[in-house]
Chain A
Amino acid sequence: MEKKNKYKILLIEPSEIVSAGMQAIIARHPEFTIVQTLTTPGYYNAQNSDIDIIIINPAVVDYNERFNIRSYFGKENVTIVALTQESYEESVLRQYNGCIGIYDSAQRIAQKLKSAVEEATQTPKSDINELSTRERDILTAVAKGKTNKEIADEFNISIYTVISHRRNISQKLGINSIPGLTVYAIMNKLVDITDFN
């Protein structure tokens, strides 16, 4: 997504109160504008959209599609941000470019939207790239059973960055589960099968 002066936002949130609150907050930031609000993604039409950012409450995403957010919306180059009122599995949130919590301040929300857009711009298209060296290192650590915290410490990066790498790895490979990633890592000799005996 190229850099724009004004990002067009689609807000999908079932609660009228929350939806109105988000609209009021975003209205204070001239670089963003909400062009459409929906209560469920069922009414979303991929064809008619020049939307840059989709802000969606993960609770309204069909449970079976929760690992396929991007294909669910049928759009490659859109920034998707979760608006959460409760906690979710990390692997679910990994699908989003960013995550806004219900208690975030107005300023924090604007920051998060900006960094989500940046993050989405940097995300390589899945069909072009092989894994980067850093991604291979992180995949190796994941296959060895390390937690995100351990990986963050080992590589001296934030947990958020680890999560973002993991999302990119899964997107490129089309493999989400840890056992699946382990199979890939062994097949490609990133780790040795004897490590698991």
Chain B
Amino acid sequence: MKLAELIGADNSLLSILQRLNIRLGFGEATVEDICTRYNISTGLFLEICNIYSFRHYQPHIEALTESDVANITTYLRTSHKFYSEVCFPAIHNSIHCLVKELDDVNRRLIDKFYDDYDNEVTNHFKYEEEVVFPYIEAMLAGGSSGDEAYHISKFEDNHSNISEKLNDLKNIIIKYLPEEHSSALRFNLLNDIYAVESDLRKHSLIENKLLIPLVEIMEKKNGKEK
């Protein structure tokens, strides 16, 4: 299939191209051509596409190998960047405008709730970027990793659910926050929250169902026990 046709069939896949650093202007190239050109396995590319296109898709690693791990971490890093440079600042901005029209108590409440959430997300990403990904990359580079005591299952333990509070925030805005002025602002904000929530869900599917199982296989090979 031509890559252009694939995008035509589901435009939400555009964000995947962006995060895999695939440049536009690819003419009549097929999915396979592009994967070869960018050194990404077709299996991985299609798994990620399926995750984005089908809500209940359950990803699996049958078609993948260790050589896909580096591409997955690159993808996840770019994805973090997208969240923290585009999505969350937009939400933060809207929240900032929203609280201006609230009374003092509600303003403090929403501000505090969102700031705490923001910190939680920042820490979550930071942990992955400073602990988890370097651990995996070290293992890819030299067989064994620097940190002998670390194990990928710790990642799952630390993997706090960052979409729970987002969901709460949504319901607070939809159901409970007294509305006085700008509706448009709230509707836009809600759409932004829904969008990032759905993207985060896919993001953690890639982490939980692709990255972690692959790394577990690598750990086994390196003789690491749980």
- Interface on chain B toward A: helix, strand, loop, or mixed SS? helix
- Residues in chain B near residue A180, CB distance under 8 A: 113, 165, 168-169, 171-172
C-alpha spacing A188/B172, complex, angstroms: 11
Could you give, for residues 60-76 of chain A, a 1 whenever the CB lies within 8 Å of some chain B CB and a 0 otherwise? Answer: 00111011000000000
Is the Cβ of A174 less than 8 Å from the Cβ of B113? no
Is the Cβ of A177 less than 8 Å from the Cβ of B109? no
C-alpha spacing A66/B58, complex, angstroms: 15
Among residues of B, the one whose C-beta sits closest to the C-beta of A186 is: B109
- Residues in chain A near residue B167, CB distance under 8 A: 67, 174, 176
Number of interface residues of B (CB under 8 A): 27
Quick check: is A22 within 8 A (CB to CB) of the other chain?
Answer: no
C-alpha spacing A187/B106, complex, angstroms: 7
Could you give, for residues 178-197 of chain A, a 1 whenever the CB lies within 8 Å of some chain B CB and a 0 otherwise? Answer: 01100110111000010000
Contact with B171, one of A40, A175, A179 (Cβ below 8 angstroms): A175
C-alpha spacing A183/B116, complex, angstroms: 12
- Interface on chain A toward B: helix, strand, loop, or mixed SS? helix
Contact with B176, one of A66, A184, A193 (Cβ below 8 angstroms): A184
- Residues in chain B near residue A40, CB distance under 8 A: 58
Is the Cβ of A177 less than 8 Å from the Cβ of B208? no
Quick check: is A30 within 8 A (CB to CB) of the other chain?
Answer: no
C-alpha spacing A7/B201, complex, angstroms: 35
Is the Cβ of A176 less than 8 Å from the Cβ of B164? yes
In chain B, positions 66-111 with a C-beta closer than 8 Å to chain A are 105-106, 108-110
Q: A64-B201, A67-B164, A175-B171 are in contact. List 9 more A-B contacts (CB 8 A).
A: A42-B56, A67-B167, A174-B167, A175-B172, A180-B168, A180-B172, A183-B113, A183-B168, A186-B109
Q: Which 8 A-B residue pairs are closest in the complex by CB-CB distance?
A: A180-B168, A174-B171, A175-B168, A177-B165, A64-B201, A183-B109, A177-B168, A193-B105
Seen from chain A, the residues whose Cβ lies within 8 Å of a Cβ on chain B are 40, 42, 62-64, 66-67, 173-177, 179-180, 183-184, 186-188, 193
